[in-house]
Amino acid sequence: MSVIDLRRLTGVARQQALRIVLIGPPGAGKGTQAATLKERYGLAHVSTGDMLREEVRRQSPLGSQARALMAAGKLVPDALILDMMAQRLQQPDVSRGFLLDGFPRSRAQGEALVAMLAAQKQPLHTVVQLDLQDEEIVRRLSLRRSCPACGRVYHLHSNPPTLHGLCDADGSALVHREDDNEVTIRTRLSVFHEQTEPVIEFFRSIGLLRRVDASLPIDHVEHLVERLIQGALTKSSPLRTSRRLAVSKYRSLGRSLRG
């Protein structure tokens, strides 16, 4: 694909309200890639982890239920997440397209999402799986630091801030997330293998899944992800057929969820 084709498709994507899921284990780089993609394509970045951390910070009823589970590296129950997402996906910014990061995380969440979007005749364009080995994840998360104000993420070795301990974007003091300690990271990894891998298989089975090697440098991963997105927009893309199949299969389920 030429540079001109890529530029043209980026323009098409901005008009098309792209709907993308970034899926992968903790620390695979979902938030890092989402930050670039949301700017480039004008998408809403919907991160369930960020939403839940905000609920915890506000000490809301949802935050109180989620807090201990998150600190232990376990999933918040599907019913709470689906409630939160049903509301979030009705916000006006989402109509310009969205990038889901950290959702869905269980087969039940995945099926509910596909059903809901099918009922709205707004199916997903693609699901990008960022694939990474467990030991690299432990290395990445142990040295991750994030900005509590803007959410930007850094890595003390591979992606450090310009000024030690301070966010490049807004100067806030960077924090080490409570769940980024080795014991909790390993629990999060087990949870990923047991509960999230089945939803990855589900997306594979309906033809939406595309895999990227997330062990590559950040800009290389960015390039591969972007090519997949552009591929999902071209006429010859096999995703068009599988999307149609997914829509027809889950539209009726979506209607029943809407009651």
Binding site for ligand AP5 (CB under 6 A): 24, 26-32, 48-49, 52, 69-70, 73-76, 81, 102-103, 105, 109, 140, 144, 153-155, 158-159, 179, 188, 214, 217-218, 221
CB of 251 to ligand AP5, least distance (A): 23
User: If DSSP codes are grouped into helix, strand and coil, which group holds residue 236?
Assistant: coil
User: Which residue numbers are catalytic?
Assistant: 30, 105, 144, 177, 188
**Which residue lies nearer to ligand AP5 by CB, 144 or 243?**
144
**Which residue lies nearer to ligand AP5 by CB, 214 or 232?**
214
Contacts of 77 (CB under 8 A, 6+ apart): 65
CB of 167 to ligand AP5, least distance (A): 13
**Which residue lies nearer to ligand AP5 by CB, 81 or 115?**
81
The pair of structure tokens assigned to 93 is 């910014």
**Which residue lies nearer to ligand AP5 by CB, 125 or 188?**
188
CA distance 210 to 202: 12
- Contact call for residues 138 and 111 (beta carbons, < 8 A): no
CA distance 205 to 154: 34
Contacts of 152 (CB under 8 A, 6+ apart): 35, 146, 167, 168, 169
CB of 120 to ligand AP5, least distance (A): 20
- Contact call for residues 122 and 19 (beta carbons, < 8 A): yes
CB of 149 to ligand AP5, least distance (A): 16
Contacts of 208 (CB under 8 A, 6+ apart): 124, 126, 127, 239, 242, 243, 246
